[in-house]
Amino acid sequence: MLSQTFYHELRASAGVVFRALVDVLCVLTAFVFGWLVAVDHTADLLLAHFDITLLVSVCLGISVVAFYGAAGMYTRVRSLMLREKFRRMVIMNLAYFLAAGTVWFIVARATGLPGGEFQTITSLVVVAFTVATVLVSLARASSAVLRFENVQDTQASSLIAPLNDDDDLVLVVGGCGYIGSRLVEILLNKGKKVMVLDAMHFGTEPLDKVSDHPNLTIVREDFRHVEALTRAMHGVNSVIHLGGLVGDPACAVDPELTIDMNVTATKLVGEIAKASGVRRFIFASSCSVYGSCDEIVDETSPFNPQSLYAKTKVASEAVLSPLNDDNFAVTHLRFATVYGISGRVRFDLVVNLLCAKAVRDGVITVFGPDQWRPFVHVQDVARAIAVTLEAPIDLVAGDVFNVGSDAQNYTLGEAAELINQQVSDAEIVADLDFADKRNYRVSFKKIRERLDFEPAWTLEAGIEQVVDIVRSNHVGHYSLPTYSNVLRLKECGPKSFASFQITGWEHEFMNGNTEGSGARDGQPFAA
């Protein structure tokens, strides 16, 4: 069980209690109105049967909370768009009043209470359903307007927002993921106070090792929710944004969801962080933005993304960079292709997958063995983030760094050979017909010279780590959805992630209009 974890699904917060009271009042008001219209225009019968009226009111109130809670109106309040809430309220109220009307009809017929006629009870149900739906919808719409205005006021006051002075308080968005789970442990070991904001679509296990740490707070929320973000940013000095859909296959499942999570929400995270007085903002980008190039690329090389995932990283850098100023330092870290074992195990990464297939299937299938990739261990990625976090702010503000090592630029065929050296009974099978345009070698000179960062892991050591964990049977079969972003997304369905309305500006950035992004070394797409 995670300690200091804020499970929105389970806690009776003031907001949830207030919503429930409003809903109960709306339904009771609707019932009384329906009674006056369909049964007794003077309410004399209600007053004459006060004891029964009170009992019915209590039962109605309890059942309202039960029905609304079952429909997710309290447990998933921030993961539902307003129109989805309206849709659910119509269905829920219809079911509720049909059930309540049926119960009242049966009780009235059996006891002789008013409302025992079919036509009367039908009129009561129709009127009460209509009024309750209107009242509850107006309440939800009013709440949404107030939240929107509050966020607008918060963003408008960014120039005068107080600067947070707790250098040890760090918010890690997506801190329960593959990289985040390793990073959180490193930050805690450095004495940092860490808050994790994560919807935990892959469970809570990645943070089990540190779940009882006194300096760790876990907020189980979707990072796209304005209220959750605003609360989480309070008092935070530094934000590390690791959230979003990761990997080409996962991003291709639902392009609109991908843009929503990786671009729209990233802009929101950046703007709220700046408005909240955050001083440092580190964004997890990717070397895949370089896409395909015959030359060795560095941070000044033009973008040439070959996938939707890579394009969202280019667009995200473009929308975040203009936020950088003297009081808000934005840094982009472009990670090489990651491998290795962390709190959340992944077998949808090329090295990890090839290792697992070599051990389990005796085959190392390489698609495009001549393609170049830069590699880096997940532990080293987490270390690089921590180094960037602690670097003098003038060394990293408004800048971008490739994260990896020159020595770990390998072709996929060479990586397969290294795996074969440790799993000698596996056979290498090369698929030369596979069409993947990605092909890039990357220079990591800048992070080495500027921040004195050099990866501690070699690819050979990382392969040994993955092979050992697969052989140990401490993890399940590599093909399980829990180990794959795309398989997990397909298993749950994109709707499990909810969605926010794409407003239009995202497509301008996705189509390559990234000039003037503000990154010190960033460049627009290659022509």
The whole-number pLDDT of residue 452 equals: 96
CA 89 to chain CA mean position, Å: 26
The whole-number pLDDT of residue 57 equals: 67
Residue with tokens 């085959």: 363
Per the CB < 8 A criterion, the answer to whether 373 and 409 are in contact is yes
Euclidean distance between CA atoms 518 and 366, whole angstroms = 39
Degrees, nearest 5: CA angle 231-235-236: 90
The number of CA neighbours under 13 Å toward the Cβ of 242 is 27
The whole-number pLDDT of residue 277 equals: 93
Euclidean distance between CA atoms 359 and 372, whole angstroms = 24
Euclidean distance between CA atoms 305 and 437, whole angstroms = 10
The number of CA neighbours under 13 Å toward the Cβ of 123 is 13
One digit per residue, the tens of pLDDT, for the chain of length 527 reads 343 333 334 344 566 677 778 888 888 888 778 767 776 666 666 565 555 556 666 776 677 777 666 666 665 444 455 566 777 778 877 887 788 778 777 776 676 666 667 777 788 788 888 888 888 888 877 765 655 444 444 444 433 344 444 557 999 999 999 999 999 999 999 999 999 999 887 778 899 899 889 999 999 888 888 888 898 998 899 999 999 888 888 888 888 888 888 998 999 999 999 999 999 999 999 999 998 888 999 999 999 998 899 999 999 999 999 999 999 999 999 999 999 999 989 999 999 999 999 999 999 999 888 899 999 999 999 999 999 999 999 999 999 999 999 999 999 999 999 999 999 999 999 887 766 677 889 999 999 999 999 999 999 999 999 999 999 988 888 888 888 877 777 776 665 565 554 455 555 555 655 443 334 444 433 32
Domain boundaries, the chain: 5-155, 164-510
Residue-wise pLDDT tens digits, 107-139: 766 766 666 677 777 887 888 888 888 888 888
Q: Which residues contact 352 (CB under 8 A, 6 or more apart)?
A: 339, 340, 346, 466, 478
Of the candidates 219, 222, 213, the residue with the CA atom closest to the CA atom of residue 187: 213
Superfamily the domain 164-510 falls into:
NAD(P)-binding Rossmann-like Domain (3.40.50.720)
The whole-number pLDDT of residue 523 equals: 40
- Partner residues linked to 525 by β-bridges: 303
The whole-number pLDDT of residue 52 equals: 59
The whole-number pLDDT of residue 115 equals: 60
pTM: 0.68
| Angle, helices 14-38/118-156, rounded to nearest 10 degrees | 150
Report strand pairing: 193-197 vs 169-173: parallel
Residue-wise pLDDT tens digits, 58-98: 776 677 777 666 666 665 444 455 566 777 778 877 887 78
Euclidean distance between CA atoms 125 and 115, whole angstroms = 11
Query: Counting Cβ atoms within 10 Å, is residue 119 exposed (0-12), middle (13-18) or buried (19+)?
Result: exposed
Residue-wise pLDDT tens digits, 240-279: 999 988 888 888 888 888 888 899 899 999 999 999 999 9
The whole-number pLDDT of residue 435 equals: 60
The whole-number pLDDT of residue 490 equals: 76
Q: Which residues contact 25 (CB under 8 A, 6 or more apart)?
A: none
The whole-number pLDDT of residue 157 equals: 41
